[in-house]
Amino acid sequence: MKTNLFTIGLGGVIGNEEDGPFIGKERLLTLEETLRMAEVSLRKNSKEGKTGCGWMRLPYEDIGPIGSVAEKIVGFDSIVQVGIGGSALGNLMLNDAFLHPYHNELSRKERKVPRFYMADNPDPKGLSAIWDCIDPERTAFIVVSKSGSTAETITLFLWFFEALSERLGPEKALSRFVFITDPEKGILRVLAEKGALASLPVPADVGGRFSVLSAVGLLSAMGLGLPVSELLEGARLMDDHIKKARGIWENPAWLLAALHFLHFVQGRHMTVTMPYSDGLERFAEWHAQLWGESLGKGGKGSTPIRALGAIDQHSQVQLYVDGPDDKLFTLIDVKKKEPELHIPSVEMEEMSPVFYLGGHTFSDLLTVEAQSTAAALMKAGKPVIWMEIPCLDGIRLGALIFLYEMVTALTGHLLQVDPFDQPGVEQGKRYTYGLMGRAGFGSDAAEASEGFGKVLGIALSV
């Protein structure tokens, strides 16, 4: 039996010559062969374990070892994950899609699984707030860092470790930590071998922002009872669909990569992802990192913008509709939103102007709002990709994840940039190491100081 994953609609994206942006079917078709070759080469690189290409293998991996570690953490009262960027955003996306929005406020009986806190930004306010909320003695800490050296993650880890050591002593404290890091190198690997609760590898050929379907994203997901098997099945279904597609009209990854590339070339240097579902708000955030960090290179790459329907209708849509034609829009509608809640039909005469709303579901309202935004954008000649998802479940989210990873990798090929490196991020990391006094990074510190010294300060004293 066939599974309807989702439908992709093109709203003025290809255009006609009279009005709106014009791409034309012919231009899309000219990219078909390039995309076919790019996909073949990605798959070959993945099989050969080439840097960055391991994500294609993840939906097929044995998750047994991750499940065994999840069993060790599920009995704790809380889980704190320490990580940043690709070591955090995938987890937040999965939680947003599947956990109760106020998960941590539910009783243990209601939520059945531990509370979850993400420590990603090393802001003392957020850090101490997490400590205030947890019972440290009944908390498991998952530290995720592929490199094992990211300053934000290491400092957060050191803080939690010291605070916990003061309560339990260093040995017992360490036994509350799970490390997800490089399989062989880095300081976290050393600690992992010294009496940690457990450790799992970040596969060497998988980059942070492509790692959500590895232990990085799946350990907390399993510990929190999220539909991990369905996620992986959805990713495999999408992979299969892409593999079997015979041309650009059947292959959503080729189509979306080609459209993003051609609109970028036409000067649409921003790409807006706007789901009409709270459960996909963090998907837009995850996608923003995937897209921005993978493609922003050598003066190229469209800027990802995350928006949320209907909230941004009352914030950004004026600009989107009536502002400059420099954006490609992806609107995502989830057809069946849970729970099904109806807008009450009231009989008070004073309320007669709003009688028309009564009886509809809130789900219908959001869908209509999404359609209205799409129509308004198209009327203004702005290009819209319309994604319609029957419901937000593991299968659909897994399929979306795999699809957008493939679209990102293929768009990188069209833009002729390496989607799997991040020299700009590494530069910032080196400056931070240098300025914080790490040995061997003296010249980075000097360069950063010199660069920052050019900032013009204007003192505002009153």
Q: How far is the CB of 204 from ligand PA5 (least distance, A)?
A: 12
> What is the C-alpha end-to-end distance of the chain, expressed in Å?
71
144, 180 Cβ separation under 8 angstroms: yes
Of the two residues 8 and 425, which places its CB atom closer to ligand PA5 in the complex? Answer: 425
Distance CA(287)–CA(330), nearest Å, equals 12
- Return the bridge partners of 242, or none: none
Which sign does the torsion angle of CA 397, 414, 301, 376 carry? Answer: negative
Distance CA(176)–CA(80), nearest Å, equals 10
Q: How far is the CB of 180 from ligand PA5 (least distance, A)?
A: 9
Of the two residues 81 and 251, which places its CB atom closer to ligand PA5 in the complex? Answer: 81
Q: How far is the CB of 151 from ligand PA5 (least distance, A)?
A: 9
Distance CA(235)–CA(212), nearest Å, equals 11
Of the two residues 393 and 405, which places its CB atom closer to ligand PA5 in the complex? Answer: 405
Of the two residues 84 and 403, which places its CB atom closer to ligand PA5 in the complex? Answer: 84
Of the two residues 154 and 307, which places its CB atom closer to ligand PA5 in the complex? Answer: 154
Distance CA(55)–CA(59), nearest Å, equals 8
Which residues bind to ligand PA5, rule: CB under 6 A?
84-87, 145-147, 150, 153, 207-209, 293, 422, 425
185, 165 Cβ separation under 8 angstroms: no
Alpha helices (H) along 85-175: 89-98, 108-111, 124-133, 151-168, 170-174
Between strands 177-181 and 198-201, the pairing is parallel
Of the two residues 35 and 79, which places its CB atom closer to ligand PA5 in the complex? Answer: 79
User: Assign residue 52 a region: left if phi > 0, alpha if psi is -120 to 50, beta otherwise?
Assistant: left
Known catalytic residues are 293, 314, 429
What is the distance, to the nearest Å, from the Cα of residue 312 to the centroid of all Cα atoms in its chain? 19
The residue assigned the tokens 């050929």 is 205
Q: In 313-408, which ranges are E strands? A: 327-336, 384-391
Q: How far is the CB of 87 from ligand PA5 (least distance, A)?
A: 4
Q: How far is the CB of 410 from ligand PA5 (least distance, A)?
A: 18
Q: How far is the CB of 208 from ligand PA5 (least distance, A)?
A: 2
Is the bond into 310 cis (omega within 30 degrees of 0)?
yes
